[in-house]
């Protein structure tokens, strides 16, 4: 039986909260990685790499560059898992 992985916005928020040591109550689906979470390009790529490793799902380099929000991340991870 195949294990179903949770790619919901809530799960992504929980993982980001853990990775960045930020309370999940301060992160929303609409949160901008750069503006709201204060991540520069390098930090954003490191966060995405950490999430990819935890979820065992990988975005293309182009997708990783254009991701702006938590919602974007959730959608791209779900897309690649399908």
Write out the CATH class of domain 9-20+31-81: mainly alpha
pTM: 0.87
Contact, 9 vs 30, CB < 8 A? no
Average pLDDT over residues 51-72: 94
**How far is it, in rounded angstroms, from Cα 74 to Cα 70?**
6
For 2-45, write each residue's pLDDT tens digit: 556 677 889 999 999 999 999 999 999 999 999 999 999 999 99
């Amino acid at each position: 039986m195949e294990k179903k992985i949770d790619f919901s916005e809530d799960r992504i928020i929980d993982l980001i909260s853990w990775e960045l040591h930020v309370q999940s109550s301060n992160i929303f689906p609409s949160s901008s990685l750069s503006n709201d979470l204060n991540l520069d390009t390098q930090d954003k790529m490191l966060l995405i790499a950490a999430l990819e490793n935890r979820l065992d799902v990988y975005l293309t380099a182009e997708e990783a560059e254009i991701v702006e929000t938590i919602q974007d991340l959730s959608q791209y991870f779900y897309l690649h898992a399908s």
